[in-house]
Amino acid sequence: MTSYSLRVGCSIRDILTPALVVDLQKLDYNLKRLPESLKGININIRPHAKAHKCPSLAHFQIKHGSVGMCCQKLCEAESMVTGGIKDILLSNELVGKSKLTRLALLARNAHITVCIDNEDVASQLSHIAKDLNVELDALVEIDVGQERCGVPPGEAAVNLARHLTSLPNLHYKGIQAYQGWNQHIRKYNDRKAAVDMVVTKVKVTLEALRKHNLPCEIVTGGGTGTYIFEANSGVYTEVQPGSYVFMDADYGRNFDQKDEYVSDFRQSLFVLSTVVSVTPGQRAVLDAGLKAISLDSGVPVLADYPELTFNNGGDEHGIITPAGNFKVGDTVWLVPGHCDPTVNMYDNLIGIRNGIVECVWPISGRGPGV
């Protein structure tokens, strides 16, 4: 693979495109804003590393009061622990001896908690942990409406929690109750109502667990769109927002309480692209296509020209219509539709401030998951 080295201190004009760039002033704002928005509420913050997969950034989140990081994939967790993060929740299910062994090995250097929705996997992980002489914590994941992983609320959670308490080296600590779809419900009151339904399922489960003398030390969930509701519910002990550090065009379409666009966090992440071809009066073509920016949550927005439209131009191109006044060689700042899969395409995150490259952070946890 060819690559070029981008030196800290050089001008943003020296960045070759397409490139993943973060505006550090806006990032700083978001890092401060999250704990500020939860001031006075008794809740732990455990941001999700799936958004950035970047230990350097995780350290800033810890500095701003986070208790540790969430990871969705083993490669994210390994990169965080290698990068010096000491407390990880694997907020997902892992399967197979090899992955469970690698997860257990992380417990030599960090406090590891994992989500479980299957008795056999729990037993296997417990055996592996015992053999390696390490201890891990475990949460029962309950399905609160996403219909993805997790056992149903109530009795099924009790049965799995009871099984966990019978296992050595794997310690039952509580539940994870995360509902991803709720994050992107546009209207504030609809979003709140959807979280109320989740909270009802959590309460039913907590009551059932209490009856069986299985109290929850940890109740975790909530992303960028809803964490404020989970935090105020009185039942969650921890929230897991990830995208808040960067934001994206999709989150930009959520409304706040006054039916205005959510302004709590600033758009800090951009894909920097270059105009490579212009057909005057018709289109301008960018060097950023499907390999540079994800389209799963809608097309990117042009940060400085929101009235123009990005059209899918295939693997290597984005087509801007109408053509605007672009010339070949102009740079264009794109707001990704969805931050997480866009970040996953890049080796490095380039941090800029006042037109200067201030840092180049490896996205060491990127990849499909192994």
Q: How many residues bind Mn ion (CB under 5 A)?
A: 1
* Among 340, 346, 349, 357, interactor with Mn ion by CB under 5 A: 340
* Among 243, 268, 294, 344, interactor with ligand PLP by CB under 6 A: 243
CA–CA gap between residue 297 and residue 61 (Å, rounded): 26
Hey, what amino acid is at 36? E
Least distance (Å) between residue 48 CB and ligand PLP: 4
Least distance (Å) between residue 69 CB and ligand PLP: 11
Q: Does 182 bind ligand PLP (CB under 6 A)?
A: no
* Among 30, 61, 183, 267, interactor with ligand PLP by CB under 6 A: 183
175-207 burial, b at 16+ Cβ within 10 Å, e below that, comes to bbbbbeebbbbeebeebbebbeebbebbeebbe
The two three-digit tokens of residue 222, written as one number: 């909530």
Give the three-state DSSP class for 60: helix
* Among 83, 145, 223, 351, interactor with ligand PLP by CB under 6 A: 223
CA–CA gap between residue 76 and residue 138 (Å, rounded): 18
Which is nearer to ligand PLP, 15 or 160 (by Cβ)? 160
Q: Does 163 bind ligand PLP (CB under 6 A)?
A: no
Least distance (Å) between residue 319 CB and ligand PLP: 28
Which is nearer to ligand PLP, 183 or 205 (by Cβ)? 183
Candidate ranges 79-87, 145-153, 310-318, 339-347; the one touching Mn ion (CB under 5 A): 339-347
Residue 54 burial (CB < 10 Å; 0-12/13-18/19+)? Answer: buried
Q: How many residues bind ligand PLP (CB under 6 A)?
A: 15
* Among 18, 241, 300, 351, interactor with ligand PLP by CB under 6 A: 241
CA–CA gap between residue 364 and residue 370 (Å, rounded): 12
Locus of tokens 């060491």: 364
Q: Does 114 bind ligand PLP (CB under 6 A)?
A: no
CA–CA gap between residue 251 and residue 241 (Å, rounded): 12
- DSSP annotation of 113 reads E
Locus of tokens 């960028």: 224
Binding site for ligand PLP (CB under 6 A): 48, 50-51, 70, 72, 91, 178, 180, 183, 223-224, 240-243
Binding site for Mn ion (CB under 5 A): 340
